[in-house]
Amino acid sequence: MTDEHGSNASEQSTDQPASDVRHETFTVTRGFEAERSRVFAAFADERIRRRWFRIPGSGATYDHDFRVGGGEDAASTFIVTGRPSEKIRNRSRYLDIVVDRRIVFVYEAIVNDETRWASLATVTFEDAEDGGSTLSWTEQVAFLIRTGDGNADLPHLRTGTALRLNGIPAALSSGD
């Protein structure tokens, strides 16, 4: 995904061969007491979204346009004591939105102007038998630049996604 805001993975120079791209798929499922329409609103309504969808670091900025063809550009600076700071950026584009049912989007995770991974994510919303709802997040990811040997990349992404989704109930209960 190239636009006026930044990098293009094909322009990045690394010593890794093209065949070094690692593809993975994972699904995270969560049950909620809230109705499907409320859980969908956690993605669509900017006030609710900002309560649970945040990128780590300080000075975060967000530009979110929830519509097909729109997307989100989120950026921050991540600082770990004793290490150089990292510029983190998450840039997405919505491909398909079916209100209260499905969101399909692509996104790039960019660190210090290098696309580390790119993903296709599908989020579905279903009614649960108990009157609540079920969210399923399925992500197909291409790791373009590995961290170390790459063994921790998928667990890191899957765990980060799960933790982020765990914030939705609190975001919904704290009011609009």
CA distance 66 to 36: 17
12 in any annotated domain = no
137 in any annotated domain = yes
Torsion of CA 33, 54, 155, 116, to 10 degrees: 140
Instruction: Tell me the Cα Rg of the chain.
Output: 17
Residues spanned by the domain of 114: 19-173
What CATH number corresponds to the domain at position 46?
Answer: 3.30.530.20
Q: Looking at per-residue confidence, does 8 or 113 come out higher?
A: 113
9 in any annotated domain = no
32 in any annotated domain = yes
pLDDT digits (tens, 9 = 90+) for 106-138: 999 999 999 999 999 999 999 999 899 999 999
Closest CA to 23 of 149, 119, 160: 119
87 in any annotated domain = yes
pTM of the model: 0.86
pLDDT at 2: 46
10 in any annotated domain = no
Residues 6+ apart with CB under 8 A from 6: 89, 91, 110, 113
Cα 100 from chain centre: 19
Tokens 């840039």 belong to residue: 91
5 in any annotated domain = no
156 in any annotated domain = yes
pLDDT digits (tens, 9 = 90+) for 33-58: 999 999 999 999 999 999 999 888 88
pLDDT at 148: 87
Domain count, the chain: 1
